[in-house]
A and B are shown apart, each in its own frame.
Chain A
């Protein structure tokens, strides 16, 4: 017989997990939310059917769209609306009178969405390969990209929640961040002078990271030249851009976060 030894979980982990479980329950109970989270981001993989097998351009476009949508739907919009709804329901206010700390409360709101985004990101790998995408150059970097992109959009969601009045208003207040996410991909066709600025958006950084990690592409090039090691080096700048956005959003959110509805 074996003895089961349970490692004592820290109270912070227990509190966060308990709250995250409730948030996940609520998310799963909302079917439409669930469809948006899981299904919508995978649809762009269908573009692969339109291109030739192994075609770099088509694969790049569809994979970038998958990652951007995973960051936008299950993460950004979902966490934004969940945070605002919990605030409207006065749940955040009540929980804050207890032992739970603010960072645990925020983590519990972020966890379910981030988990969905990671599942989507990982599920996209075999589906993309089956539909004819080229073999990825640096798979760990691709998965890291999905994770980092999710985390950046978590923080952007909290910052947006800080100045979103209620759940309905989120439809409008989410637009600036959605623009920041999609402009990067559109910018591949922009002139160089404009692109230099657009490169600083989170969307462009995600575009670079996906094209580099999966396809070994450098910049706007359509010629796969980077090997496994070189993709890590090429990832430095876009990762820095994402880190800067996360830091900026965290600073803004910490200054302006509201825990109860405006009266």
Chain B
């Protein structure tokens, strides 16, 4: 039964295997993930980590080999009509006929949706009003991406799945997409987002899940995810050799280093001290061999 507490999306123990026998390859190896209503969750991972394979099961385009996916408590394949009606999907690459205009594309899309928003309303949402008569062929990359979003928003989705929504966009278009996602979240929409841009995850996501080799290796708010990762101090020592020092207590270690330098009259060239960032955490996790989790 769906209650107000039912999460928009709940994935438990998800597995997905391609092929059979000797050549079988397990792309998703027991993924757990939860997206609450009115929150944005970013699924991060290197290429081949299994993000898209996971998304396809959530979208109902592929069956799971094991585990379960529940969208508003429903099965995306068995309860197809209900889940499709309530979800919106933006795929990694746009899929449009170049010879249709923006308006014609949305008119077609609206016919496939149970309770569509008016086309004009959606165009305003994504700021494409002035392009209604333009053929898709003539749109810029950013505009085309916003048309993708417009199609996904036509059905007033309660769960939006965005697969790398801002890849290839200029900074201004990215900002616009971010603002739109924030507005949707404020309206109670749940968003599952995959991205290559760690700043995007930091900007938008309430929680992040880092995926590596088919597993979620770290999950939490950005602060929680970063907390496990050591801070780094770098400088060029008096002998001219670069030094990199990792520490769990940045302030303590830095005080120690600076005191020592002051006492010995040593100048630390190119001194740089920084807390762990989502980026350093991500890179550290992505470099770990398969099967290592922390």
Footprint of B on A, CB under 8 Å? Answer: 11, 14-15, 17-19, 21-22, 25-26, 29-30, 85-86, 89-100
Contacts and interface: CB of A to CB of B under 8 A. Distances in A.
A90 B99 contact: no
B93 to A, nearest CB: 6
A18 B109 CA distance: 8
A70 to B, nearest CB: 25
Nearest to A94: B95
Contact of A99 (B59, B81, B91, B108): B81
Given A93-B95, A94-B94, A98-B113, 12 more contacts: A11-B114, A17-B111, A18-B111, A19-B112, A22-B104, A30-B99, A89-B98, A90-B91, A94-B96, A95-B95, A97-B89, A97-B91
Which residue, of A18, A29, A92, A97, has the highest number of chain B Cβ atoms within 10 A? A97
B107 A18 contact: yes
A99 B96 CA distance: 17
Contacts of A92: 95
Interface string B77-111: 00001001100010101111111100011011111
Contact of B114 (A21, A22, A93, A99): A99
Given A94-B151, A99-B84, A89 B96 contact: yes
Contacts, number: 72
- B interface residue count range (under 10 / 10 to 19 / 20 to 34 / 35 or more): 20 to 34
B155 interface: yes
Contacts of A11: 114
B17 to A, nearest CB: 19
A26 B108 contact: no
Nearest to A260: B95
Contacts of B114: 11, 99
Contacts of B94: 90, 94
A77 B61 CA distance: 29
